Structure 1
Amino acid sequence: MKPLPLYGDGDYYRLSGINVGKHCDKEREPGRLSFRKDYSRLIHTPAFRRLQGKTQLFPGYESDFFRNRLTHSLEVAQISTGIGERINSVEPEFESSHIDLDLLEFAGLAHDLGHPPFGHNGERALDEMMLAFGGFEGNAQTLRILTCTERKLIKVGENTYSDLGLDLTVRSLASILKYDTEIPEQRKKRAPLQKGYYSSSADIVKEIKSKVAPRKQHQGDFRTIECSIMEIADDIAYSTYDLEDSLHAGFSTPVSILSALFNDGVIRKTVFDRTNKELKKAKHEEMQSFDELFEAASLVFDGLTEAGFSDKTSSALEATKIYKLDQQIAQDSLTRTKFTAERVGKLIGSTEVKYNEHCPALSQARLTREAMLEVEILKHLNYELNIRSPRLAVVEYRGKDIVCELFKAIDNSGGSLLPDDWKQLYRDSRNKKRIICDFIAGMTDRYATEFHNSLFGSGKSLFKPI
């Protein structure tokens, strides 16, 4: 394995011990900063372009309004840089040694690169197929794409050669390394999905750690400041814009969301427990009662709180006002835009940093407790009410069948169903199942469906390429 490039720009990165040399003999191009070059390499990759064909919450063919993985990633990148700008302005430790905004933008754009077609069920399907061969997980696949499956011509001195991976800086790779756990090569049947990185990426992860935090001791999981900011931005986007999509689709209204929390005991306990788990992870005080859960949820939709009145006339008037506001947020695009813009701005302004004096690179950003309550409650409510709704479940479970059937068909064919450029990789690999997994994971929803139809459907043209 060649040494990973280590260069970076700015005092903060020199202080972090990552600006010590470059990859091989590569010279820095005049005017091009290192992280900006990584950003450029990312956006020109096929894997990045294919995000436009992968579902975020609702299938894109249902409406041009709905977000896909690409538009979601663009929003996460923008929120990440917004958080970075704020931290650079208000946190004393970063006023003179700024967090690099190009690196934050890279992390936001790259964070969903490894997600397969058909969302979480596509991920579970590939993991089931790979239980005995190293597993599958979206974040682990992102690292693999950036360091292995994407190919680029690399110039070193006078020589040019083909390389696997994008030849990115160590710090760019560290910015998407969310889980500090190696996924076992073999897991039992029906084992739950495990977040982490593949064992085949272990040497790369080891090198990333040694160069980002050389000779430094860190407690807990390895995670850089840029990665923690990207995670916050992802949570903000998920809890805000997926909510907007569900309102536009008619799956939810503010009142229906609050009603589920107040009146459905199973959903209430699920949201309560999962929110407390995230609060504990962020070292915030956990909620002690459902009352705090109700209060935080009601703050999300200010004005939609339950009010008690002594006479029926006042209650009826209040109910009418609540219904009007509920329908306005659910149906009026301008009202929704105002709601989401104000919410995102408020949450960006609610970030704080725990500075790591021993290793600044491993400082951690987090939301304040009040902001985190709102984000986590909406995240888990959205999951329970929308992602697990029967209408979406039908689409996702069909997608799971497609992924499993594609995997088995390609495997049974001995790789003959793979396109020509993938066949060579398949022949040269010792883990042929991983090559099949890489191929399917990179598919868009539509391509996976068309490929499946070409194998199992009828009337398929022989002249349409796979």
Structure 2
Amino acid sequence: MEWDVLLNDKRRRESAVTRSKSTDIRSAFENDYQRIVMSASFRRLQDKTQIFPLEKSDFVRTRLTHSIEVSTIAKSMGNMVSHKIIEDGLDPSFKSEHAEKIADILSCTGLLHDMGNPPFGHFGEESIREWFKENLDVLEYDGKKLTAILTEQMKQDFYHFEGNAQVLRVVSKLHYLFDEYGLNLTHATLNGVIKYPVSSLEINKKQIRSKKLGYFYADEAIF
């Protein structure tokens, strides 16, 4: 396993300030974590309900609360797995610095994992899919039918809208806090939220590998 390649801390747009000349002692992944926490995209999760309890004595749990919990658990699990690898000597190339990076990356991906999900979770996803199936062929842009402009894969992206895949698009393209690169997160953090090895054209729900897969065509131009 080439850990230095997998745990790549490069960004799509590198900073103009070199770390050797900077007083910033944070690692690239710690920087990712703070970028996410301070972003408007992350704060908006407070308006998305995760659980709406019926008990009067309980309180509504939001996606923001849920994501913080997932981030904490993910980091702990990463630490446990890393400890196991080092303690049992499962991979001599795996070092303590790799363990630290894995924990930080998992902490970031835990914060990000629900950022692209619409309100009402899977019901919201299904509503978006149904709306586009019913309305995409009547939408127009610049006097032309939208279906005549979009490629087949673009159409399928709408018909198979996937909230988890939308995370990549939000942080890499739609979030303009810094520039056109979105949050400009490290390659390793971005790879951590890519869970879909097939496009919307290849989705086959009868196959396990395609049950929850798909990525937005627009993201292809990101890398």
TM over 0.5: yes
2:106 counterpart of 1:116: no
Q: CA deviation at 1:16?
A: 3.6
| 1:32-431 pair list within 5 angstroms | 32-58=26-52, 64-91=58-85, 92=89, 93=91, 94-96=94-96, 97-98=98-99, 100=101, 101-131=103-133, 132=136, 133=155, 134-135=157-158, 136-153=161-178, 162-184=179-201, 195-204=213-222, 207=223
Alpha-carbon distance in structure 2 between the residues aligned to 1:46 and 1:21: 20
- SS class of match (2:108): helix
- C-alpha displacement of 1:143: 0.7
What is the DSSP-based 3-state SS (H/G/I as helix, E as strand, rest coil) of the residue aligned with 1:56? strand
Tell me the distance in 1 between the aligned counterparts of 2:60 and 2:189.
29
Q: Which amino acid letter does the alignment assign opposite residue 140 of structure 1?
A: A
The 3 A distance-change label for structure 1 pair 67 and 125 is: same
Distance in 2 (CA, whole Å) between partners of 1:65 and 1:34 is: 36
| Residues 186-240 of structure 1: per-residue CA shift (max 9 Å, x gap) | xxxxxxx963211111243xx4xxxxxxxxxxxxxxxxxxxxxxxxxxxxxxxxx
* Identity value in percent: 36
* Cα pair distance change 1:50/1:62, threshold 3 Å: farther
Deviation at 1:17, TM superposition (A): 7.3
Return the offset for 1:64. 4.9
SS in 1 for 2:177: strand
The CA deviation at 1:67 is 2.4
CA distance in 1, matches of 2:76, 2:40: 27
Task: Verify the 8 A CA contact 1:53 1:68 in the aligned structure 2.
Answer: yes
Does structure 2 conserve the Cα–Cα contact (< 8 Å) formed by 1:182 and 1:202?
Answer: no
Q: Describe the SS at the equivalent of 1:147.
A: helix
CA contact (8 A) 2:11 2:185 kept: no
Q: CA deviation at 1:52?
A: 1.6
CA root-mean-square deviation: 2.9
Match of 2:141? none
For 1:109 and 1:79, the matched residues in 2 are separated by 11
Structure whose alpha-carbon radius of gyration is higher: 1
- Amino acid corresponding to residue 177 of structure 2 in structure 1: K
Q: Does the residue aligned with 1:23 lie in a helix, a strand or coil? A: coil
In the aligned structure 2, how far is the partner of 1:168 from the partner of 1:80? Answer: 18
In the alignment, structure 1 residue 31 sits paired with structure 2 residue 21: no
Is the Cα–Cα contact under 8 Å of residues 152 and 164 in structure 1 kept in the other structure?
Answer: no
Is the Cα contact below 8 Å between 2:11 and 2:187 reproduced in 1? no
Judged with a 3 Å threshold, the aligned counterparts in structure 2 of structure 1 residues 17 and 200 are, in CA distance, closer, same or farther, namely same
Q: How far is the alpha carbon of 1:129 from its aligned partner? A: 2.5
- Deviation by residue 1:245-274 (Cα, 9 ceiling, x = unmatched): xxxxxxxxxxxxxxxxxxxxxxxxxxxxxx
Distance 2:119 2:15 in 1: 39
- Structure 2 alignment gaps of length 5 or more: 137-154, 203-210
Q: Would the aligned equivalents of 1:60 and 1:68 in 2 still touch at CA under 8 Å?
A: no
**C-alpha contact 1:183 1:194 (8 A) present in aligned 2:** no
Q: Compute the displacement of 1:42 (Å).
A: 0.8
What do the CA deviations read for 1:153-185 (whole angstroms, capped 9, x no partner)?
A: 3xxxxxxxx435111111111111111121249
TM-score, normalised to structure 1, is 0.35
TM, length-normalised to structure 2: 0.69
Q: 1:33 to 1:119 in 2, by over 3 A?
A: same
Contact preservation (8 Å) 1:181, 1:195: yes
Q: Which has the higher contact order (CA 8 A, sep 6+)?
A: 2
In 1, Cα distance between equivalents of 2:110 and 2:166: 16
**2-side partners of 1:53 and 1:147: how far apart?**
22
* Distance in 1, Cα, partners of 2:198 & 2:75: 27
Match of 2:140 in 1: none
Tell me the distance in 2 between the aligned counterparts of 1:104 and 1:90.
Answer: 16
Quick one: distance in 1 between partners of 2:193 and 2:172? 12
Q: Distance in 2 between the 1:36 and 1:51 partners?
A: 21
